[in-house]
Amino acid sequence: MTEIRKLGHGCVVRYAYLWAREHDRGEESGRKDRPTCMLLITHGKDGLEVPLFFPITSRSPTSGSHAVEIPETRGPARPTFYTRVGYCR
């Protein structure tokens, strides 16, 4: 996974993220590309690197779910695909 290592922790990429509710319905891939943050690279039982991706959404978290708020910003510090408060779930 050399390409994954080049991205690095906290990198935001466009990724067809598969939500748990979609997986539970039997879907196998995400419906659309969405901004997704690679927060962590861990190692699986086989020793291979496993990246953990978390979707970025404009929807507020539901009761009982966990999310990190991405505050609204101005200028080049904020990715162009976001214009308001977002959440990394």
Number of separate helices (H) and strands (E) present in the chain: 2, 5
Per-residue pLDDT, averaged over 42-69, amounts to 83
pLDDT of residue 24 exceeding 70, the answer is yes
Instruction: Decide which of 59 and 2 is more confident.
Output: 59
User: What span, in angstroms and rounded, lies between the C-alpha atoms of 79 and 82?
Assistant: 6
The percentage of residues in the chain with a pLDDT greater than 70, rounded to a whole number, is 73
69 strand-pairing partners: 87
Looking at residue 87, what is its pLDDT? 55
pTM of the full structure? 0.59
Instruction: Decide which of 86 and 47 is more confident.
Output: 47
